[in-house]
Amino acid sequence: MALTGREAREEKESEETTAMERDPASSRPETAARADPAASGDSVRSNPGHHRVVVVGGGFGGLEVVRHLRREKTVSVTLVDRRNFHLFQPLLYQVATGGLSPANIAAPYRAIFSRQKNCDIVLGEVVDFDPERRRVILRDGELEYDTLVVAAGSRHGYFGHDEWEEIAPGLKTLEDALEIRRRIYSAFETADRSDDEAERHAFLTFVIVGAGPTGVELAGTLAEIARHTLRHDFRHIDPGIARIYLLDAGPKVLGAYPDELSDSARASLERLGVTVRTGTTVRSIEPGRVHVTSPTDGDETIEARTIIWAAGVKASALAQKLAEATGAEVDRAGRVVVENDLSVGRYRDIFAIGDMALVRTERGEPLPGTAPVAIEQGRYVARVIRNRMRGRPAPTYRPKIPGMIATIGRAAAVGEIGRFRIRGWIAWLLWLFVHLMKLTLFTNRLLVLIQWGWSYFTHSRSARLVTGLEHGPGGETASVAREAGVRTIGPRS
């Protein structure tokens, strides 16, 4: 990908410094002294003479910090993550709906950084911080740092109803995506085997709670699956009769978008056959049904075997830990309130970025939890670290609200980029291009391009696999199926 003007300047700056600082010792590959955690119970890594930067979380923000320190010969970077791969979350819904395979949107850190010699990877879960001793506490050891960057992202928020999570999973991890995929395709399978009309309808009813970008993407794709992808695949049901509800307590879909784009998105969804219910609050969720209420329709129960949560997000639990350790504050969404230079509390050597940090623009608006924001902040923190290494003052961080674009389905999307509002084909092509270019590995870009091209012309979704079953159609859907008296054997006319 072409470098932007600023990236090119940063590259040049780094190269000049590298040339100035080059010495035989510093050009050696990193050989951090490693205590064997299994043997010592302690995984403190040290690299004498180097400035040790520990980055917690290899999402969009953390990855950018590590990448932008790649030319710093006197810096050793340790990236610690509880997963061994970077996940491209904006395409998770495509895994959840069987359009892409998990490996298409994930990239192992060791592959990404195999040539970055000043980067070490630690697979481990961070549980706490000790800023006085400059240690990151892992579940099974510790890491010592000179500068710490925490970019641990966010998780689902159920507005105090965590018990809903099992019934209505959210979409944040690959495991979530595979579970949702299992539930969606199991529901069609079970409906095909059911003799009971009401039960069959319940299996063919899908409720998505939350009409933000993820909810809209899921609803639009589910409608396409039911009407097109599966059209010829079943012998006892017509998947096209599936009902897809998209619920939101707010007054419109894509609440952060201007009204004209929200209206356009809603119209596209309705054309696809999605029932959009805004101003509708979920009162409770139980297996097989959602109880809702709205000022116009009053209380109502929707019988649905597949319920997906796309409504709330809260910061990683590490935000609270970091705030407690540093004396910083957290907001209602659990994000750490950071200083203007993204440092935390009174600690100039600790930074928090991305979804877990609360940053406001000059006009006081909080920055949204999006990939461009995390990327921008990761680059900024890397520049601060580089400047400090050279004894230069930190650059000023100027937060700005990035452009946004959401896809609704085939050839339909809406977006706002600066002063421009786009929709339809053009927005959809831009969405495809941006997502493709931002995917982490070249092989993933190529594979995704081929799959998208194929499914555009054929409506097919090649990864619609039901996995994770222990005893046939498993989990909740299966037990509901058993309760529903679903046929187990024999042909049917």
Ligand X SMILES: Cc1cc2nc3c(=O)[nH]c(=O)nc-3n(C[C@H](O)[C@H](O)[C@H](O)COP(=O)(O)OP(=O)(O)OC[C@H]3O[C@@H](n4cnc5c(N)ncnc54)[C@H](O)[C@@H]3O)c2cc1C
Q: Catalytic residue numbers? A: 217
Distance CA 299, CA 320 (A): 37
* Residue among 213 and 334 whose Cβ is closer to ligand X: 213
> Residues interacting with ligand X, by CB under 6 A?
56-62, 80-83, 89-90, 92-93, 125-126, 151-153, 171-172, 213-214, 316, 318, 354-355, 369-372, 374
Helices 174-193/475-483 angle, 10° precision: 20
Shortest distance, position 152 Cβ to ligand X, whole Å: 4
Question: CA triplet 332, 336, 337: central angle to 5 degrees?
Answer: 90
Least distance from C-beta 388 to ligand X, angstroms?
Answer: 22
Q: Token digits for 76?
A: 């050793």
- Contact criterion met (CB below 8 Å) for 119 and 67: no
* Strand runs labelled E in 343-411: 343-344, 347-352, 357-358, 404-409
Q: Min. distance of Cβ 177 from ligand X in angstroms?
A: 8
Closer Cβ to ligand X, 58 or 98, answer by number = 58
Least distance CB 350 / ligand X (angstroms) = 16
Closest CA to 181 of 122, 93, 282, 313: 93
The distance of closest approach from Cβ of residue 3 to ligand X in the complex, given in angstroms and rounded to an integer, is 20
Q: Which one, 138 or 202, has the nearer CB to ligand X?
A: 138
- Closer CB to ligand X, residue 371 or residue 463? 371
CA separation, residue 440 to residues 123, 445, 483 (Å): 19, 8, 44
Report the amino acid identity of residue 305. Answer: R
Tokens of 286: 């139980």
Q: Which is nearer to ligand X, 125 or 349 (CB)?
A: 125
DSSP 238-274: -GGG-EEEEE-SSSSSSTTS-HHHHHHHHHHHHHHTE
Q: How far is residue 180's CA from residue 168's CA, in Å, rounded to a whole number?
A: 9
